[in-house]
Structure 1
Amino acid sequence: MNVKEAVSRAKTYVAEIFDDESPSNIGLEEIRFDDRQDLWLITVGFSRSWNRPKPFTTALGGDIDLNRTYKVVHVKDDDGKVVSLTDRTVEQ
Structure 2
Amino acid sequence: MDKVKYPVLTEKTIRLLERNQYCFDVDLKANKTEIKQWIQDFSKVKVVAMNSHRPPKKKKRIGPVLGYPVRYKRMIIILESNYSIPLFLNK
Q: What interval of TM-score do these two structures reach, taking the shorter chain for normalisation? A: 0.3 to 0.5
Larger relative contact order (CA 8 Å, sep ≥ 6)? 2
TM normalised by structure 2 equals 0.34
Length-normalised TM-score, structure 1:
0.34
